[in-house]
Structure formats: structure tokens, C-alpha cells
Amino acid sequence: MTTAVVPVAADAAGRESAPGRRRPRPRLAPHRRREALFFYLFISPWAIGFLVFLLGPMIFSFYLSFTDWDSFTAPVWVGLDNYITLLTDDPIFLKVMGNTAFYSLISVPLGMVVSLFIANLLNKKVRFRKLFRTLVYLPHLIPIVAVALIFQMVFAPEAGPLNQALALIGIEGPNWLMDARWVKPALILMSLWQAGGGTILLLAGMNGIPKELYEAAEIDGASGFRQFWSVTFPQLTPVIFFNLIMGIIGSFQVFAQVFILTGGGPDNASQMAVPMLFDEAFRFYHMGYGSAIAWILFVVIMIFTAIAFATSGRWVFYESEVRS
Amino acid sequence: MSATTTLPAASGAARRTRPRTLSAFRGGPFTYGMLVILSAIFMVPLVFVVSIALASDSTVSTGQLTILPRDWQFSNFVEIFRTSLPVGRFMINSVIIAVTSAIGQVLSSSLVGYAFARLRAPGKKGLFLIVIATMMVPAQITMIPQFWIFSELGWVDTFLPLIVPQFFSNAFNIFLVRQFVTRIPYEMDEAASIDGLGFFGIYVRLILPMMSPILIAIAIFTLTAMWGDFMGPLIYINSEEKMPLALGVQYLTSTSQELQTPPWNLIMVGSIFLSLPMIVIYYFGQKYMYEMNLSAGSAGVK
């Protein structure tokens, strides 16, 4: 009896459980009740954390965004005032959101191009492949605080290696972090230094592309670039797509780099959403105003995610054998 | 030529026996050239860090830094512990925070993930959808209320606001564990159950040991995230002797006297101390992180 039942149970294991498929009827109810009890007991760390650290705070934060609150006295209800002020009257908020979008929408796709380019080089049969891979990946391992401190020196106007390199080809480099026009490109350059982090996943994806496709392309006389564009790239789009969404969401929340390197300056040219939220909440104790910023940021992130998902069907190539 | 290549299977098999690389995988001078140039560009900032870390105080204050090391003043690596800031304490704090958090995540996520993979209960599907949905919520939304909760509890300027939430698992880790446990054959649970183990016994004695690869990955992920975390300590930690290294190193830049150049050589030594453990952990744990990346399709460990 049991031997006949086991494969069925194993087959459905872990996925959706078909109710009452395993035990004889009379014992089923108490056993299932016990199992359910254990389920709720086991997930209680998550459930408590969800209520105390996520759902509760989310509701509270939503409420706060309609109030004026300094965290010491009781919150004062102000209706939509925070949102209206932010969107129409705040001297810097729209600029800050513009900066954040500029940073995010340039650094993420550019980083993707860089890591794709490197991954494509490393996908070839080259000597010292492991060494090159490690060197390219290494910057990704450096904690962001250290990266920011390192690049404070890299961007130094005279002694910094960047301007020294530019001087070699006869260009006088700007004072990157003090120049309102160059501070955002500087932050983008810094993010590109860590772009090698994406290559590992792309390499894994490239490994899964059937070799027959390249064989066929070669027979058809496709050039190297053509093979990349018509075989590698379409086959990788699920990975690229996923990384783009995650990257954009992540870079909209950029904080430490801005806080350490520029403090938002000069003239708020590098001020971004989360550093501004931090300043409002923990420097000026405008907790209500800060909550409103957080919710606008949340909505913007959701919109980007939705756009990315909605348009994915047009350019993402899904095939089961792409992923191992 | 075309006649031989269009021949099916047989010639394909014959071709494969010859060691011939497809043009798409052949590395020419361009490939090597680009790899060397790119690796060099990626390495320049790191070499520069070492150069600054080994520079003497006078080189730093006069700004005569070079990309390649010139001074070789290794005493900076000792000098950093003699500043007015407790750098040794920073490191111990970082280790305490990162290790406790990793333990918390491993314990809680493995238990919750196991329950979602194996136990049946009404409402489970809906709860799992909530778990997935919480991944979309940015941390900034809950930052202000959490600060209020922790300050009401009197936990500000302690490690607790950083560590305690880690004992309540997180959605991404639950997802990873669930995916992993789903791949373990259910017959093992059945056998253990027949042998008289309860659900908790199956979890502790059977599933937990088998989960170790994914748990190591989660531990590494939590360690690196907490070690490098800047915003959390910035919000919650005020006193110097409680700062973790990520905050403390940054603090070094701001404590120097007015109009005086910050001690960049020591700051870079601090940055090296901050970065080296991450590189070591990656070196020993890369196969586990690789597994996690593949099973979750994540954008990498960050």
C-alpha cells in the first residue's frame, strides 16, 4: 500500500499540496490540523517580523506622510500638504528626482553594456581567463563606503589618476566633485567601476546558449559582431532584463556614495532621493515630510518596475533551455 | 565546402572530435588587448589605494601622491590603531554585528523556508504571495517608523536595531530556502516521519544538514551586507565605541582638524581593512554564492 502511494506523494512534494491524498481518512483531520499548527508556528518569525517591521511601519508611514511630525510631539494632520509642497513648492525636490532618474537611467544601462562587453570577451577561449575574470570582478567586492572613499582620491583634481590620465591625452580634467556639471557623470563613472559584478551572471547565461546556434551562424557567414547581436544578445535578454529592473530599483535608492562623496552638493547637483529623505528625517526631524518623500519614491520605483514588465514581452526572448 | 557542412549528424559528430573552436569563441589580439586594457583600468584605483595607504604623512599633506607606491611606509597599518578613534573596536563591532545577523538569518530563514516548502496549511499560498510581494517594498518606506519603534524601546545607540530584525528572516532568503528544499526528495521526510520524527525533528535532523549549501550562501550574503552597511549604523549608532568599521572609516575623514588634510593614508588603510574580509569571504565562498545567484537569478551579491 505505502509503496504505491509514495511516488505520488513525492511527485507533489513541496509544490501545491492536494488535500487529503496521503493519509487514510479517519486519521486525516487531526494530523492535518497538527501539520497546519506547526506551519504557523514555523513561519511565526516571518509573520511577526512582517507585522512589526514591515506592515505596521508601512501603515504608520503612510499616515505620517499626511502629518507634520518632529518625532517628539504628537503628529499634526495636514492632509495632502506634504505631497503638494513636494511636487509644487519644494525648492529642490523635483531637481532631486531628476538627478536620481538621470543617475539611474544612465548608470544602469551603461553598466549593463560594459558588463555585457566584458562577459562577451571572457566567454571566448582565452588564456588567463580566470585571472581576467577575477580582476574585473574584484571592484564589485569592495564595500560601497570604501569605494566612495577610494574615488574621493581618484577624482582628486590634480593628483587623482583620472585627471592624470586625461592630462596624458591633453585634456584638462574638471574638478569632478566640485563642479555642478560633472558631479553626476562622476558618480556614474564610479558605478561603472563596479559593473564587472554583472559579468558572472551573464557568463553563466552565455554558457547555457546552445553551441549549434553559433555553428549555424558561422556557416551563414555571420561576422563576430553579427553573431553577438543576433545570437548571444537575444538569448541573454531574460538575464539582461532582470538585471536592468533590479539595477534601476537599486540605483534609485543610491545613498552612501552621495552622502560620503558630495553630501548632495555642489548646489544640490548631486542630491538624490534617499539622501534627501535622510536629511529631512534624521537631520531636520521632518518625519512627515520625509515619509511623503519615501512614498513618492516607492511609487516611482513601482512605475519603473511596471513599465519594465509591461514592455518585456516585446523584446525579451524566453526559451526554457536558455536557463540551466 | 557547403556539401560537407550541410551533412547531418554523422559529420557533426566527426567535427566535434576535432579540437576546433567556433569563431565566436576564438580569442584574437583584439580580445586580449581589450581584456588587458580593461583589467588595467579596473585595477588602477586599487593600486592607487595601496599607494596611498603606504604613503608617508608628508606625502599625503603635500598632495604628492603617485599611482604606484613610492614610500612603502608599512607602519601605517599599525599607526591606524593609534589614532584618537578606536579602530580596533570598530572592527570588533563589525564582526559582532555581521556574525550575529548571519546567525539570525540562517536560523529564521531556514525554518520559515522549510515550512513553506513542506508543511501544508490553509492560507499558505496567500501567505507566500505576501512574502514575494514584500521583496518589492523599498526599505526607505519603513525607515522612519522603525526608527520610532527602536527609539521608543530605548535601543538607539545599541547594536539591537541592526541585529534584531535579522532574526525575523527576510523574503529573499525564505524564497531561496524554499526553492532549495523543494528539490530534496520528499521520501526522506516520509522515512524520517515513519522513524518517529516530528516536523521539528525532520527540520533539525534531516533538512537542516542537507540545506547547508544554501545556508552558507545566506550566511555569506548577510555577512557581506551587514559588514558593508552604512545607512543603518549612521541612523542608529552615535557613540564612537559602538561604530562598525564601515561607519568608523568614514568618520576618520571628518575628525581631522579644520583646514587640515584628512589622514588619507590611514583612511585608505581603513578602506583596505574594510575590503579585505569581503575578498577573502568571496574567495572561499564563491561556489556557494554562485549557486545562490543561479537559483535566484539575482543581480549578484550586493
Size of interface A-B (CB pairs under 8 A): 306
User: Are B56 and B150 members of one domain?
Assistant: no
User: Are B135 and B47 members of one domain?
Assistant: no
Set of cell numbers at residue B99: 556574525
Set of cell numbers at residue A313: 514581452
Is residue B181 within 8 Å of residue B114, measured between CB atoms?
yes
When the pLDDT of each residue in chain A is averaged and rounded to a whole number, the result is 86
> B167 and A45 in contact by Cβ < 8 A?
yes
User: Are B154 and B64 members of one domain?
Assistant: no
Please check whether residue B20 lies inside any domain of the structure: no
Please check whether residue B205 lies inside any domain of the structure: yes
User: Are B130 and B251 members of one domain?
Assistant: yes
Is residue B138 within 8 Å of residue A304, measured between CB atoms?
no
Please check whether residue B17 lies inside any domain of the structure: no
Q: Which residues contact A320 (CB under 8 A, 6 or more apart)?
A: none
Q: How far is CA B301 from the centre of its chain?
A: 5
User: Are B144 and B278 members of one domain?
Assistant: yes
Please tell me the distance from the alpha carbon of residue B240 to that of residue B87, in angstroms, as a whole number.
Answer: 9
Q: In chain B, pLDDT over 90 holds for what percent of residues? A: 56
Give residue B3's pLDDT band: very low, low, confident or very high (50, 70, 90): very low
pLDDT of residue A42: 96
User: Are B65 and B149 members of one domain?
Assistant: no
pLDDT of residue A133 exceeding 70:
yes
pLDDT of residue A324 exceeding 50:
no
Closest CA to A186 of A117, A94, A114, A102: A102
Of B74, B102, B134, at which residue does a domain stop? B74
Q: Does B58 touch chain A (CB under 8 A)?
A: no
> A38 and B35 in contact by Cβ < 8 A?
no
Set of cell numbers at residue A256: 552612501
Give residue A112's pLDDT band: very low, low, confident or very high (50, 70, 90): very high
Domain count, chain B: 2
CB atoms within 10 A of CB B284: 10
User: Are B184 and B52 members of one domain?
Assistant: no
Is residue A209 within 8 Å of residue A231, measured between CB atoms?
yes
On the CB side of B173, how many CA atoms lie within 13 Å of its CA?
Answer: 31
User: Are B154 and B57 members of one domain?
Assistant: no
Please check whether residue B282 lies inside any domain of the structure: yes
User: Are B135 and B167 members of one domain?
Assistant: yes
pLDDT of residue A295: 96
Q: What is the DSSP letter of A68?
A: E
Please tell me the distance from the alpha carbon of residue A205 to that of residue A236, in angstroms, as a whole number.
Answer: 6
User: Are B256 and B168 members of one domain?
Assistant: yes
Q: Which residues contact B146 (CB under 8 A, 6 or more apart)?
A: A53, A57, B161, B165
At A170-211, the pLDDT tens digits run: 898 899 999 999 999 999 999 999 998 888 888 888 888 888
Please check whether residue B11 lies inside any domain of the structure: no
End-to-end CA distance of chain B: 50
Identify which of B25, B35, B117 has the shortest CB distance to residue A125.
B25
Interface subset of B 176-235, CB within 8 angstroms of A: 178, 181-183, 185-187, 189-190, 198-200, 203, 224, 227-228, 230-231, 234-235
Q: Which domain holds residue B149?
A: 84-296
Please check whether residue B1 lies inside any domain of the structure: no
Of B17, B40, B74, at which residue does a domain stop? B74
Please check whether residue B13 lies inside any domain of the structure: no
Closest CA to B114 of B175, B164, B165, B167: B175
When the pLDDT of each residue in chain B is averaged and rounded to a whole number, the result is 86
pLDDT of residue B291: 65
pLDDT of residue A55: 96
Angstrom distances, CA of residue B70 to CA of A163, A229, A231: 20, 46, 48
**CA angle, A288 as apex, A286 and A292 as ends, to 5°?**
115
User: Are B238 and B147 members of one domain?
Assistant: yes
pLDDT of residue B280 exceeding 90:
yes
pLDDT of residue A163 exceeding 50:
yes
Please tell me the distance from the alpha carbon of residue B90 to that of residue A146, in angstroms, as a whole number.
Answer: 15
Set of cell numbers at residue A6: 509514495
Domains of chain A, each with CATH number or no CATH: 19-64 (no CATH), 85-322 (1.10.3720.10)
Please check whether residue B196 lies inside any domain of the structure: yes
pLDDT of residue B107: 95
Residue with cell 525575523: B168
Minimal C-alpha gap between B82 and chain A (Å): 20
pTM score? 0.85
Q: How far is CA B97 from the centre of its chain?
A: 14
> A54 and B45 in contact by Cβ < 8 A?
no
Of B74, B107, B139, at which residue does a domain stop? B74
**DSSP E strands, chain B:** none
Q: In chain A, pLDDT over 70 holds for what percent of residues? A: 87
User: Are B167 and B47 members of one domain?
Assistant: no
pLDDT of residue A323: 35
End-to-end CA distance of chain A: 37
Interface subset of B 62-91, CB within 8 angstroms of A: 63-65, 67
Q: What is the CATH number of the domain that holds B270?
A: 1.10.3720.10
